[in-house]
Amino acid sequence: MTVRPDHWWRHAVFYQVYPRSFADSDGDGVGDLDGVTAHLHHLDALGVDGIWLNPITVSPMVDHGYDVADPRDVDPLFGGITALQRLLTAARARGIRVVMDVVPNHTSSAHPWFVEALRSAPGSPARDRYFFRDGRGPGGNRPPNNWISVFGGPAWSRVTEADGRPGQWYLHLFDAAQPDLNWDNPDVLADFARTLRFWLDRGVAGFRIDVAHGMAKPPGLPDMPTTDVGLLAHRDDDPRFNRPGVHALHRAIRAVVDEYPEAVTIGEVWVHDNAEFAKYLRPDELHLGFNFRLVQAGFDAAELRDAIDNSLAAVGLVGATPTWTLANHDVERAVTRYGGGAVGLARARAMALVLLALPGVLFVYNGEELGLPEVALPDAVLQDPVWERSGHRNRGRDGCRVPLPWSGSVPPFGFSTTTRTWLPMPADWAELTVACQDGDPGSMLALYRRTLRLRAEHPPGAGLSWLPSPDAVLAFRCGDLVCVLNAGEHPAALPEGTVICASGPLTGELLPPATAAWMT
C-alpha cells in the first residue's frame, strides 16, 4: 500500500460551526459570519486547527442552507461574501483553516436550474439536470416509484405543466425544496467543479461534502424493497444510496480538488460496511470520510471498542486517516444521548477524553465543549422540515441546534442582542455560558481546553493498541498516551503510570464509573 503524504489535515482538530447558532453580530437573532469572526478567540483558546462551517451559501433556508440556490455566493443572512472574506483573513491570522460545506446531491427548488426546469417541457435538457419522470397509474397520478423521503413522506412531488395540468414528478430524497440532481448530466459536474474552484481560489481550505454517498442513483430508479426504513435513518441495504457509480463522481471531484494540493475533502458517508466505506477513501477519491460508528455507539465498553476497532479497520483497508466525532448538527447532543443530567454530563466528559486521545482527525461540534444538552423545544418553534414532513411524528434536529450561550444570566446569553433568537434558548443555561465556564477549572470548557493542549503535547501518532482491562473498561495507548475509560458500575484499577488528566475526581488510586483518565 502506498504511503500517503503527511498533509496538515491528517492530525487536525476541526471545530464544527453551525453558523445560525454560533454568534449573531447584527441582532437579527440568527448567527452569522461576523459573529464567528468576533469569537475566533474562543476557538484559538481551544486550540483547534480548522473550522467546518455548515452551509453559508445563498438559500431559502428550508433545510437551513442544505437547500442551495446559489452555490457561489454567501447568503446575506450570514453577511454576504465580504463577511466570509473577513472571516478567512482573521482565521488565517490565527492559523485556523476554514472548510466549507458543499451540497452536490441536490439544489434548492429556488436554484435557477430548477426554476428553468419547471418552466421547460418534459424531456427538455433543463429537466434532465434533475429527475423528472411521468407518474404511474391512471393519469400518472401515482409517484414514479415507491421511494420515501429521508425526512418523511414521498420522495416525489408533482409539478403543474405550462398548460395548467398536473404533469411530471420530480425526485427529492430530502425536502420537496431539495430536488435531486442528475449526475449523469455533464452540466452538474461542470458546475460543481466551478463551485469548488471558486471557493478554493478565495482561500477556503477544503470542503465537507454533504451526502457524499448519495448522488448516483440506481439505473431505472427501481422500487425500494421496503419503505419501512425509518426517518433520518441510514441503512446499508437502502438502494437510494451508496451506488457503485458514486465512485467515478468522487474521482472526478478529486481531480479538481487536486489542483489545490493543500485542500481537503471530508465526505459525509453514512455507510456501515467497512469495505464499502473504505472505497470512498481510495487515494483518488475523498481525503477523509466521516465515520459515524462512535456517534452510534452507546456508553458501553464493548460497543465503543467495536466502534473504534471498525473505524480503524475501515480506513486501514486503504491506508486512509480515521476521523472521529461524538456529535454534529444532525444527531442528539452527547450529554443527552449518554443519559442526560449529571450522569450524561459525566459520561460526555469521559468520552471527550476518549475522543481526544484517538489517532487521526477530530471534529468537535459547537457547544459540545460547553456540555450543552439537547433542548426539548415546544412544537410551535420547531423548524426542521422533518417535523412537518413526518406528520409531527419525528421532532427533527432542532434540539441540537439551539444557539450557543456566551455570557450573562438570561437568554440570549450574549449570543445576540435580541431575545427573539431563531430558536429559543433555555432560561437555565447561565452556568453553561462560555464566560461562566471560563473561570471554572472544573468546567467542560476547561476540560476541552486542557485536553486539547495535552493532545498537542502528546500527539497520538497513527496507531492504537489496546491494553488489558476488565470488560467494562477501555484502555488504549496512542503514542505515549494511555487513555482509560470506566464505562462500568464499579471503580476500576488504573494501569501503571502517571495520571495527567481526568474527566472527574479519582477515588484514591481508582477510576470511578463514568470517568476517563489520561496517563503517561
| Residues designated as active site | 210, 259
Using alpha carbons, list the distances in angstroms from residue 412 to 179, 211, 283, 407, 445: 35, 33, 46, 9, 19
- Options 32, 63, 180, 374; binder of ligand GLC; rule CB under 6 A: 63
- Options 66, 156, 299, 476; binder of ligand GLC; rule CB under 6 A: 66
Q: Which of 48, 140, 132 is nearest to 366 (CA)?
A: 48
- Options 52, 114, 169, 174; binder of ligand GLC; rule CB under 6 A: 174
The three grid cell numbers given for residue 164, joined into one nine-digit string? 395548467
Which of 68/205 has CB closer to ligand GLC? 68
If you ran DSSP here, which 8-state letter would residue 121 be given? P
Site track 329-368 with ligand GLC (rule: CB under 6 A), x = hit = xx--------------------------------------
Give the SS3 label for residue 191.
helix
Rounded CA gap, 329 and 19, in Å?
11
Residue nearest to ligand GLC as judged by C-beta position: 66
How big, in percent rounded to 5, are the helix, strand and coil portions of the chain? 30, 20, 50
Which of 211/253 has CB closer to ligand GLC? 211
Shortest distance, CB of residue 264 to ligand GLC, whole angstroms?
A: 18
Instruction: Find the binding residues for ligand GLC in span 195-224 (CB under 6 A).
Output: 210-211
Contact 516, 483 (CB under 8 A): yes
Contact status: 68 vs ligand GLC (CB under 6 A): no
Shortest distance, CB of residue 330 to ligand GLC, whole angstroms?
A: 5
Shortest distance, CB of residue 64 to ligand GLC, whole angstroms?
A: 7
Contact 232, 238 (CB under 8 A): no
> Would strands 50-53 and 13-17 be described as parallel, antiparallel, or unpaired?
parallel
Contact status: 238 vs ligand GLC (CB under 6 A): no
Instruction: Find the binding residues for ligand GLC in span 247-286 (CB under 6 A).
Output: 268
Which of 229/435 has CB closer to ligand GLC? 229
Q: What is the DSSP string of 423-467?
A: SPPPTT-GGGSHHHHHT-TTSHHHHHHHHHHHHHHS---S--EE-
Is the backbone peptide bond immediately before 412 cis, with ω within 30 degrees of 0?
A: yes
Which of 231/313 has CB closer to ligand GLC? 231
Contact status: 103 vs ligand GLC (CB under 6 A): yes
Strand pairing partners for 518? 483, 501
Residues that bind ligand GLC (CB under 6 A): 63, 66, 103, 174, 210-211, 268, 329-330
